[in-house]
Amino acid sequence: MPLESNARIAKALAERGYNAEREAITLLAGAADPAAAVAAAVDHAPDEALRITADHVREATAETERSAASPDANGQSPVETEGSAARGAGETDAGSAAATTDGTAVADDRSDASTTETTTTETSTTETTTAETTTAEASSADRSRDPDLRELEVGNDMTGRSTGTGEYGDFVTTFRDRYERLSKILRGRVNHRPAEAIADMPGGSDAAMIGLVNDVRSTKSGHWLVELEDTTGTFPALVMKDKGLADVVDEILMDECIAVEGTLADDAGILFADSLHFPDVPRTHNPGGADRHVQAALISDVHVGSDEFMADAWHAFTDWLHTPEADPVEYLLLAGDMVEGVGVYPDQDEELEIVDIYEQYEVFAEHLKEVPADTEIVMIPGNHDAVRLAEPQPGFNDEIRSIMDVHDARIVSNPATVSVEGVEVLMYHGVSLDEVIAELPEEKASYDEPHKAMYQLLKKRHVAPQFGGHTRVAPEERDYLVMEDVPDVFHTGHVHKLGWGKYHNVLAVNSGCWQAQTDFQKSVNIDPDAGYAPILDLDTLDMTVRKFS
Ligand code: D5M
Ligand code: FE
Ligand code: ZN
């Protein structure tokens, strides 16, 4: 029997303007002649139908069989297909790597169709290579996917709320809001005074200040001068080299909000720091969780339109999404760079397969159609997408939205928070990670361990603290880049490296990409992790990484 991929069937139906039930796709894939079965199902479906159901397929098959003189010996009856689906799904539940409860990876040796490697990092995981699944395995009776059980809520989407005019005054407003909201987090920890008041305190007093970092520099004698700014003015703090704070000073980025505690010099002109504090995530953070076994695929950086877009890996991924093993994967979160875009980097056009940005989105939409129609999709833009580069980036405009009008995907701003069945997921594309990695020492943030750079952002409670550098920040009435609430999961992409781990109970995931190494990346030795899909258990917050390349 020819092996017809589920994704191809979904696409064939989509091209004819139909969504389809998963079970319908399974039945069509199992047909002796899937192409003919698709045609028959489409013919059979009522004119007003938007969705091909399993019943449409069964009725169409029955009709074809009735009219055929001798039925094809290889033909699979719908009943057989359903029977094997039930067995397949049962086995998956029992043997699935994702079903482990203690976070220990368990090899999934259930079928020859997939090979499993086990890797252990800070949080254990399983890496699985999924080959094309067999038709029997792909059979799914769609039992465990009940859209009524789903809960998906978007918070902090700034699309349509941009107020900035780009004037100086707007930046003042943004920074005031940043200060207000981040200083609130620090206020309970230090007994702070405004810069203005500290300047009037007698020399030798104990004092503390909360402010945005205006300057950090090392002095000739090897100490550090940290200047903080609040709404009343600036004040300098001297961090002496013998205070054991070098490690903390190393982590300071410009424009982030920190607190300094210490003693005023005799002339009261400078504060000798005893301690420095970041807003940080409390160690007691208690993440939420779904009350059923349901999963989300966290991906990013698809880069459709690039010569290096890995179509085969993408098809393998979407094929897998149609298998019973992927039954619990009811959510797909896409953290930016859907397409390669045009004019993003110098000489980028030499590596474009599709040079028209709209055509790139059209092809991306085609690829998205391969994802099971009943998957909830959330997308934010990245630096390659057709929205403004400055962050926060609003969700796509109406023109691009109408092109990507697939599966009712929710298109929101970068960053945005989504609450998925009780799990708060902060989605951010990740441009600031380049900067964090460039500024901080290797062991605190590197391309090989992108999640550690994410830990720094969590510590700063801001997704892009530094202003005026590589990451462009747009002036808005509100600083949408502040992490006011602690997320349970922090999901980024952009650096094209896979990495994950937990920081104070927050799972940080940088999700790799679907683009092979570009010439630029080769020239700077970036070796991308392409073709991986981290799958998050929303009930346990355990992760399984599947490899499709
Ligand atoms: O960028 C993917 C990664 O590669 C990210 O870490 C930035 C880096 N990158 C890629 N191309 C360039 C150029 N031309 N200059 C500087 N940095 C680059 P992404 O934007 O997701 O493609
Ligand atoms: Fe990217
Ligand atoms: Zn990017």
Question: Residue 58: its pLDDT value, please?
Answer: 85
Could you tell me which residue, 223 or 137, shows the higher pLDDT?
223
* Alpha-carbon distances, residue 271 vs 208, 261, 268 (angstroms): 8, 8, 7
- The helix (run of H) or strand (run of E) holding residue 543 is strand 543-547
Q: Which band of pLDDT confidence, cut at 50, 70 and 90, is reported for residue 87?
A: very low
Instruction: Give the largest Cα separation in the chain, rounded.
Output: 104
Q: Ligand 1 pocket test: pick from 495, 510, 517, 529 the residue with the most ligand atoms within 8 Å of its Cβ.
A: 495
292 CA distance to ligand 2 centroid (A)?
A: 33
Dist. CA 501–CA 20, nearest whole Å: 36
Residue nearest to atom 8 of ligand 1 (CA): 495
Of residues 288, 258, 284, 282, the one with CA closest to residue 271: 258
pLDDT in tens, 320-348: 999 999 999 999 999 999 999 999 988 88
**CA angle, 80 then 83 then 85, to 5°:** 110
Question: Residue 4: its pLDDT value, please?
Answer: 56
- Stretch 144-158: mean pLDDT, rounded? 91
- Stretch 289-316: mean pLDDT, rounded? 98
Most confident of 39-43, 160-164, 400-404: 400-404
The dihedrals phi and psi of 411, each to the nearest 5 degrees, come to -110, 115
| Residue 452 pLDDT exceeds 80 | yes
Q: Ligand 1 pocket test: pick from 349, 526, 527 the residue with the most ligand atoms within 8 Å of its Cβ.
A: 526
* Alpha-carbon distances, residue 303 vs 114, 220, 339, 391, 521 (angstroms): 26, 47, 4, 20, 14
| Residue 432 pLDDT exceeds 70 | yes
User: Which of 314-323, 392-401, 461-470 comes out lowest in average pLDDT?
Assistant: 461-470
* Alpha-carbon distances, residue 126 vs 116, 319, 533 (angstroms): 7, 19, 11
* Binding pocket residue ranges, ligand 1, CB within 6 Å: 301, 337, 345, 383-384, 434, 494-496, 520-521, 526
| Residue 114 pLDDT exceeds 50 | no
Question: Residue 93: its pLDDT value, please?
Answer: 30
Question: Residue 16: its pLDDT value, please?
Answer: 76
Question: Residue 98: its pLDDT value, please?
Answer: 34
Question: Residue 138: its pLDDT value, please?
Answer: 39
Q: Which band of pLDDT confidence, cut at 50, 70 and 90, is reported for residue 28?
A: confident
Question: Residue 55: its pLDDT value, please?
Answer: 83
Q: Which band of pLDDT confidence, cut at 50, 70 and 90, is reported for residue 82?
A: very low
Mean pLDDT for the chain? 85
Q: Which two tokens stand for residue 153?
A: 């809520």
CB 116 within 8 A of CB 129: yes
Question: Residue 65: its pLDDT value, please?
Answer: 67
CB 532 within 8 A of CB 546: yes
| Residue 130 pLDDT exceeds 70 | no
| Residue 184 pLDDT exceeds 70 | yes
Question: Residue 294: its pLDDT value, please?
Answer: 98
Could you tell me which residue, 432 or 136, shows the higher pLDDT?
432
